[in-house]
Amino acid sequence: MGYHDRHFAGDAFAHTGVWGNPTSVENFCEEDYAVTRFVAEFVNSITNLTYVYFALKCRVRVRNGMVYSGGFDSLSVTLMLVGVTSTAYHATLHQGPQLADDLSMLLLAGALLQKLCCSSEPPVIARLAAVSIWLPTFIISTMYIKSGNFLLHMWMFGTMAALIGLRIFYLIYFEPRPEQDKTRLAFRFWNGAAYLVVAFAVWNIDLERCHQLRAARQRLGLPWAWLLELHGWWHVLTAIGAARFIELVRDLCDQTAGSKRRESRELLSSESTTRKRGFAVLTRMMLPALTKESKDDLDRIGSTG
């Protein structure tokens, strides 16, 4: 059952926070303002720092055995945005930050899709692909903001995530590359996917077994009770999975672009070689005639003298 059907509000300290009464449509299993009046959902807020950490870590890249800082690209920025907006949402439980949190997920998915579909394509195709990605994202996001219907966001994000997986699958298994590279890339793909699957399972347990989890947390007491804040684990696991997919997408796109550049160079080299061979054949064909004409000219000069 989707979490649009679950809303755990009305906690004992829910109306004591400095941010005022919660206004968000979504409210998770962690008890509101149970730790401090300055943060509505303490564990759910601090675990979002995992996104920020991996957004910064993803700036550091390895190429040809060399480690260097690649700066912020669209993937790092959108992952950072997920962490910042999700922190604001869980800290305040206000509707505005909640919408920003949900929309940042679409921005990250869109950035991944654009990287996968546009990075090695000609400019015209890249622009068409970008429009086909961002126009539906903008339309659905606008509809979601106006209606507040979380199902719109859920289905859009699910569709984009499926397209990302299918595109990566195609690039790994159907683009020409050595079998050893396919095996290595496939392992990275399924490893990242495993984190996301476990995260989704943990997320649903947090929704469907909230009352049992709260009872267990009361028995354990702090700080061990925090280990059963499963939505926080959702943040940690999805941050790891997203970071691994970002690194995989970068490597795939770099390899695909490099392969296409090599193919282009080989094609140009082949065409150049063909032209040179054709010129050589033509020269050999014309040489006897030129030699004969030169001898005739010499004979005429000799007879004139």
Model confidence at 303: pLDDT above 70: no
The predicted model gives 54-76 an average pLDDT of 73
Helix (H, G, I), strand (E, B) or coil at 295: helix
Model confidence at 36: pLDDT above 60: yes
Model confidence at 149: pLDDT above 50: yes
- Report the pLDDT value the prediction gives residue 51, as an integer from 0 to 100: 98
**pTM score:** 0.80
Which residue in 18, 91, 94 sits closest to 49, CA to CA? Answer: 91
| 263 marked as part of a ligand binding site | no
The predicted model gives 190-215 an average pLDDT of 95
Model confidence at 176: pLDDT above 90: no
Q: Residue 63, exposed/middle/buried by CB under 10 A (0-12, 13-18, 19+)?
A: exposed
- Report the pLDDT value the prediction gives residue 139, as an integer from 0 to 100: 97
Model confidence at 239: pLDDT above 50: yes
| 153 marked as part of a ligand binding site | no
Sorting pLDDT into bands at 50, 70 and 90, what band is 3?
very low
- Report the pLDDT value the prediction gives residue 159, as an integer from 0 to 100: 96
| 90 marked as part of a ligand binding site | yes
Q: Residue 146, exposed/middle/buried by CB under 10 A (0-12, 13-18, 19+)?
A: exposed
Handedness of CA 44, 48, 203, 5 (dihedral sign): positive
Model confidence at 218: pLDDT above 80: yes
Model confidence at 147: pLDDT above 70: yes
- Which of left, alpha, beta for 233 (phi over 0: left; psi -120 to 50: alpha)? alpha
- Report the pLDDT value the prediction gives residue 285, as an integer from 0 to 100: 67
- Report the pLDDT value the prediction gives residue 4, as an integer from 0 to 100: 47
Q: Residue 129, exposed/middle/buried by CB under 10 A (0-12, 13-18, 19+)?
A: middle
**276-299 confidence digits (pLDDT tens):** 666 666 666 665 655 555 555 545
Helices 95-118 and 74-92, axial angle in degrees (round to 10)? 160
Model confidence at 27: pLDDT above 80: yes
Q: Record the tokens describing residue 76, joined without a space.
A: 């790092």
